[in-house]
Every structure is written in structure tokens, then in C-alpha cells.
């Protein structure tokens, strides 16, 4: 099933009254009722519009839509894996900085862990209230990680999880930086120079890379900090 929303209506929403462009949302779910229901809900949110929906990632990407956020069901009937789907969505939307959120019932922790390690921006339960879903989508577009209790529990149960062994100072720097502070703000709070903070961040990235938990961007660092309970 594939459905694309009227682009002219989206453009009109973004121009009307000088408002900013709507957040373009994509949905991947193989239950038609879920797609229809979530599309109706999201399209009632001010500043948001579902611009594409499909039962598979392949079908979604076959359309011409550009997405700010894609809500991805982790267990699809086509047999695809969360890792493959996340990588395809992020690669295809790299120029547009598409962010992927696991949209799930949460009953399969293994799938949640696989999605986390593939680089999703967090997890939303399908049973959440419309208001929580709206706030989660907005937060995702700001580069925040949606770290729910289900998300944290799934990661804590990962027996293959490897500790990066950060020092106390590195943990403090990461906690502040991942919480949204700039390098300058972290430096001021810790009474050190900005260059010292940047040196710490380089070492932190190196420690995570050494254990296979790469963190090249600030979003990745936020995810690593959330996984380690620092934010």
C-alpha cells in the first residue's frame, strides 16, 4: 500500500501566514488501518504533514517525497530487517537529513536494539497519545533522541553491549554536551578552555569507535550518552 499526500496542500501550509515549512513525515507500516489512522492524527498537528506512506521502505522511497522524519514499523511482512530499513532510509535521505524513529508495539526488544545500533533517533510506542507522538516528532527534528523507558530497557538487556570505559571527566563532558550545551558552555561550566573540551570529545569519540559504537556526530554522541545513562 502506498499513499502520497497532495504536495500543493503541503506547500500552501508552509506559505500561509508566513509560517515555517511543515515537518514532512513518512510512515512505513504494513497495516493499512494504522497508516490511515496515524495519517489522520498527524495531519491534525499544526506544522506537520504526512507526505508519504507505504507498507515497505522500498515502496516509500519509490515516491518523490522528501521526509524530515520517518516513523518505521520494525517488523514488516516483507521480511526486511530494522538495520537494512534504517540504513536505506538514512542513505536515501542523507541530503535532506531524514531522521528515522522506531514506531513499534515494543514487544520485541531484539528489534529495538537492532534499530538503535542502526542509528534510529529513538522509539515511539504505537499506543502513545497523539500529543506525545507530536512532541516526539518535533524533538526528533531538533536532533534530540527519543529515549523512552522501553528503549532504555531494551538496550540494557543487550548482552553484546560494550562499555566504552569513559573517565569521570569524559563522562561529565559528554553528559553536558549531549544534553544540548555547546563546547563553549561546557568549557565555562567546567572552568576549562574550549580546546580542552574539544580534545575530550575527540577522545570520547575514539573510545566509542574502539568498541564498535561509533559516534561521529553530536546526535550519535547523544545516543551513546543515553545508552550509558548519562542523559
The pLDDT tens digits for 28-64 are 999 999 999 999 999 999 999 999 999 999 999 998 7
- Parallel/antiparallel/unpaired status of strands 69-72 and 99-104: parallel
Instruction: Provide mean pLDDT across the span 92-108.
Output: 82
pTM reported for the whole predicted model: 0.63
Residue 20: predicted pLDDT: 57
pLDDT confidence of 157, banded at 50, 70, 90?
low
Q: Indicate if 145 and 196 belong to the same structural domain.
A: no
Residue 229: predicted pLDDT: 76
Task: Give the CATH number, domain containing residue 79.
Answer: 3.40.50.2300
Domain with 211, as residue range(s), is 168-227
Q: Indicate if 9 and 54 belong to the same structural domain.
A: yes
What's phi and psi for 224, nearest 5 deg?
-65, -40
Instruction: Provide mean pLDDT across the span 112-134.
Output: 86
Place of cell 501550509: 13
Q: Indicate if 192 and 152 belong to the same structural domain.
A: no
Q: Which residue, of 127, 156, 185, is where some domain finishes? A: 156
Instruction: Provide mean pLDDT across the span 150-166.
Output: 68
User: Where would I find the H helices in the chain?
Assistant: 7-15, 32-42, 57-62, 82-92, 109-118, 130-141, 149-156, 168-178, 183-190, 194-210, 218-227
Q: Which residue, of 156, 189, 206, is where some domain finishes? A: 156
Q: Indicate if 85 and 187 belong to the same structural domain.
A: no
162 inside domain: no
C-alpha–C-alpha distance, residues 53 and 70, integer Å: 9
Q: At a CB cut-off of 8 Å and minimum separation 6, what does 198 contact?
A: 183
pLDDT confidence of 7, banded at 50, 70, 90?
very low
Partners of 50 in the β-ladder: 25
**Buried/exposed code over 189-227 (b: 16+ C-beta within 10 A; e: otherwise):** eeeeeeebbeebbeebbebbeeeebebeeebbbbbbbbb
* Total count of domains within the chain: 2
Amino acid at each position: 500500500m502506498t499513499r502520497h499526500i497532495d504536495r500543493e496542500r503541503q506547500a500552501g501550509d508552509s506559505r500561509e501566514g508566513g509560517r515555517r515549512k511543515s515537518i514532512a513525515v513518512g510512515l512505513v507500516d504494513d497495516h493499512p488501518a494504522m497508516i490511515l489512522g496515524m495519517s489522520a492524527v498527524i495531519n491534525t498537528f499544526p506544522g506537520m504533514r504526512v507526505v508519504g506512506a507505504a507498507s515497505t521502505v522500498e515502496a516509500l522511497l519509490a515516491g518523490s517525497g522528501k521526509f524530515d522524519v520517518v516513523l518505521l514499523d520494525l517488523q514488516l511482512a516483507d521480511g526486511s530487517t530494522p538495520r537494512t530499513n534504517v540504513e536505506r532510509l538514512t542513505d536515501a535521505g542523507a541530503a535532506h537529513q531524514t531522521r528515522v524513529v522506531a514506531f513499534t508495539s515494543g514487544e520485541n526488544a531484539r528489534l529495538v536494539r537492532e534499530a538503535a545500533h542502526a542509528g534510529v533517533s529513538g522509539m515511539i510506542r504505537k499506543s502513545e497519545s497523539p500529543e506525545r507522538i507530536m512532541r516526539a516528532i518535533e524533538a526528533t527534528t531538533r536532533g534530540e533522541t527519543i529515549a523512552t523507558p522501553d528503549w532504555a530497557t531494551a538496550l540494557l538487556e543487550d548482552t553484546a553491549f560494550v562499555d566504552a570505559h569513559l573517565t569521570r571527566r569524559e563522562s561529565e563532558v559528554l553528559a553536558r554536551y549531549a544534553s544540548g550545551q555547546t563546547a563553549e558552555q561546557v568549557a565555562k561550566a567546567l572552568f576549562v578552555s574550549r580546546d580542552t573540551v574539544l580534545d575530550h570529545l575527540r577522545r570520547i569519540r575514539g573510545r566509542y569507535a574502539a568498541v564498535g559504537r561509533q559516534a561521529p556526530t553530536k546526535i550519535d554522541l547523544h545516543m551513546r550518552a543515553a545508552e550509558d545513562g548519562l542523559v
